[in-house]
Chain A
Amino acid sequence: MKILEVQHLVKEFGGLRANDDISFSLEKEELTGVIGPNGAGKTTLFNCIAGLHPVTSGRIFFDGRDITALKAHEVARLGLARTFQVYTAAGDLNVEENVMVGCFMRTASRTEARRRARRILAELNLEEHADALVSELPVAAQKQVTMATALGTAPKLLLLDEVAAGLNPSEIDQIMDTIRHLHHDLGITIVLIEHVMALVMNVCQRLVVLDYGKKIADGGPEDIADNPQVIKAYLGERYVAEHTGELS
């Protein structure tokens, strides 16, 4: 069953086409990566899906419903959560309280919100940080807190925007474990934007590649790695020309 379906999505900012006729769909419980060079339109795509940007044209369906015209908070309430690239947690709330903000989407009771927040923190091994201010934590833990907050909304689909950016290899391993855990054990469908290829190639079952706002490839990680168009987008035309020249 399809959980997300994007049809001919176009998003323009003034004269700039940030997303140009993008179509793809996701099956339930898939773990998909969206990759592409800087400025390819990945975050814009997330913002359109999550309802933060009104789309110029095209349609987006989530769980069988047309969510194209819905506002961000309405989309979130349907069960589509996202994290943000730039680290964002409410400054004067501690870790547990940040996660509670997410939990409050599903309950008005503070006791219940706290109970859920604690469970999520335990799930992600963040209990020890519960009382800390988010800004006091190492970057990896901060990223996990933003994921925990998104999990508080009990999502069916989770969009992760560069959760591994700026982390060292051991922290990336840690984040990878978290993502796998959410996917395998909690059964959450995940789409992630990522530049860290080690992570993308390791955890994603499928990749969607964007370049200059267009979708240039879509498939399993092995196919994508060999796709000449993808290599061109990342490494440039000359590199491809030289290396294919060598081969022939």
Chain B
Amino acid sequence: METLKNAFDFSDFPRSDLVVAGVLALALAAFPFLSPSSFAMATMIQFFMFSIYGMGWNTIGGYGGQVDLGKAQYVGIGAYTTAVMLIRWDIPFWVSMPVGMCLSVMWSFIIGYPLFRLKGHYFAIATIATSLVLKDLFEVWDFVGAARGLEISPIKYHPPDFLRLIFRDDIYYYYIIFAFFLAGIVYINWFRKSRLGFQLRSIKDNEEVARSLGINVHWAKIKTYAIATAFVSVAGSFHACYIKNIEPEDTMSLDISILIALMAMLGGAGSLWGPIIGAGILIPLKSYLKEWLGARAGLVGIDLIIYALIIMVISAKEPRGIWGIVERVRRRKRRR
């Protein structure tokens, strides 16, 4: 009961924030009725998915300060579990999604145990490595379609199929992922004020101090990594049903891992709204850049150049991202 109350308790934010958040939530809820283009709808769905990835990343990467560049492997595990179970055994999304989550979490424990013996850059590099190894394995594993990937063919089903999450109209996907998105916010709101959330912030600051306050640092990191993983896996499962055509390259590539981390850092690592702000900026930017520039010869990699610039600016100017700037300005005002 207390848990539930804490999860819905946003009272430590200024009222202005909550008004803005409420207005934006209403706008997002109304968005499909403003007759958006199918391109805009697709971008918004991507925005929600990446917000969820980012919220997951933010637990370990933001609150815990452990820069994880291997989140794509869990997008892959979630997506493949759902796709394989649906295609081979006709098992619906609502079953395969939790199964995928369990598999992801199990895998996260297996690799988390050794990974968290490492720190800083070494940890970041190791997460990249595990993710790439898993991707390579999937590329040669025939059971999951190897490099060709898997295709969920909608013809076999009768959309709208709410059990298997097969729809013809994006509006269904929009509201389902929107619901996951809101649930994610509520969960993170609870998490950040939970015992684990507090312990992580202490760990981020100084591990020796954290240990002397009775925190089992290694275990706290592994647990949080599993939570982050669960988030990513759920959105990954959704990705399979939504995109319907999954390959190792577009679920588990390094680009995705980096984009997830980058969004959260741009918006503000270690804050509730950060990953959402980051996704709100980068996902439309990415989509529209591809649309406007990507087709032209010679400009294919432009989005990567922009990411690189963003990384440089954040790390030089405000490591806590856009939300960090907001908070700094507020503190200064309050002190005056």
Once the chains bind, are A105 and B209 in contact (CB under 8 Å)?
no
Contact with B along A144-188 (1 / 0, CB 8 A): 000001101100000000000000000000000000000000000
Contact status A52-B199, CB under 8 Å? no
By a CB distance below 8 angstroms, the chain B residues around A153 are 213-214
Neighbour of B195 across the interface among A89, A91, A108, A150, CB < 8 A: A108
Chain B neighbourhood of A108, CB < 8 A: 195
Q: Are B6 and A110 in contact (CB under 8 A)?
A: yes
Interface size on A, residues (CB 8 A): 35
Given contacts A77-B214, A81-B212, A101-B213, A110 and B202 within 8 Å (CB-CB): no
B193, B209, B214, B270: most-surrounded residue (chain A CB, <10 A):
B214
- Tell which of A81, A88, A90, A152 touches B201, judged by Cβ atoms closer than 8 Å: A90
Main secondary structure of the interface of B (DSSP, over half): helix
Cβ contacts under 8 Å, B193 to chain A: 110
CB of B113 within 8 Å of the partner chain: no
- Does A52 lie within 8 Å of B208, measured CB to CB? yes
Flag whether A55 is at the interface (Cβ < 8 A).
no
Are B217 and A73 interface neighbours, CB within 8 A?
A: yes
Confirm or deny: B169 has a beta carbon within 8 angstroms of a beta carbon on chain A. no
A104 and B199 in contact (CB under 8 A), knowing A73-B216, A109-B2? yes
Q: Mark A40-75, 1 if CB is under 8 A from B, else 0.
A: 000000000011100000000000000000011100
Question: Which stretch of A92-100, A205-213, A218-226 is in the interface?
Answer: A92-100
B205 to chain A, nearest CB (A): 4
Given contacts A89-B205, A109-B2, contact A50 B198 (CB under 8 A): no
Q: Is the CB of B206 within 8 A of A88?
A: yes
What 1/0 mask marks residues of chain A from 121 to 135 whose CB sits below 8 Å from any chain B CB? 000000000000100
Q: Is the CB of B213 within 8 A of A149?
A: yes
Judge whether A76 is part of the interface by a CB distance below 8 angstroms: yes
- Is B38's CB within 8 Å of the partner chain A? no
Interface residues of A in 199-240 (CB under 8 A from B): none
Is there an interface contact between A84 and B208, defined as CB atoms closer than 8 Å?
yes
Residue of A nearest to B211 (CB): A72
Interface size class of B (residues with CB under 8 A): 20 to 34
CA distance A50 to B320 in the complex (A): 33
Chain B residue, CB-CB nearest to A102: B213
The yes or no answer to A244 lying at the interface (CB within 8 A) is no
Do the beta carbons of B213 and A105 come within 8 Å of each other?
yes
Most B CB atoms within 10 A — which of A90, A136, A152?
Answer: A90
B212 touches A101 (CB 8 A): no
Contact B214 A90 (CB under 8 A): no
What separation, in Å, do the CA atoms of A130 and B201 have in the docked complex? 18
- Complex-state Cα separation, A6 to B216, whole angstroms: 24
Report the minimal beta-carbon distance from A11 to chain B, rounded to whole angstroms: 16
Interface flag for A82 (CB, 8 Å): yes
Q: How long is the Cα–Cα vector from A82 to B212 in the complex, in angstroms?
A: 7
B331 partner residues in chain A, CB cutoff 8 A: 133
Question: A73-B214, A110-B193, A110-B195 known; A84 and B201 CB under 8 Å?
Answer: no
Task: Choose from B2, B199, B202, B211 the contact partner of A76 (Cβ within 8 Å).
Answer: B211
Inter-subunit contact A52/B195 (CB<8 Å): no
For A77, the closest partner residue in chain B by CB is B214
Chain A residues near B217: list those with CB within 8 A.
Answer: 73
Asked if A76 contacts B213 (CB within 8 A), the reply is yes
> B211 contacts which of A73, A91, A109 (Cβ < 8 Å)?
A73
Q: Does chain B have a CB within 8 A of A248?
A: no
Give every chain B residue within 8 A of A82 (Cβ-Cβ): 212
CA distance A133 to B331 in the complex (A): 10
Q: Does B153 contact A (CB under 8 A)?
A: no
CA distance A101 to B212 in the complex (A): 11
* A93-B202, A110-B195 known, 9 other contacts, Cβ within 8 Å: A73-B216, A81-B212, A81-B213, A88-B206, A91-B205, A101-B202, A104-B195, A105-B214, A150-B213
Give 16 pairs: A residue, B residue, CB < 8 Å, sorted on A.
A71-B211, A71-B216, A72-B212, A76-B214, A77-B214, A84-B206, A84-B208, A91-B205, A101-B202, A102-B213, A104-B195, A109-B2, A110-B6, A111-B2, A113-B195, A153-B214
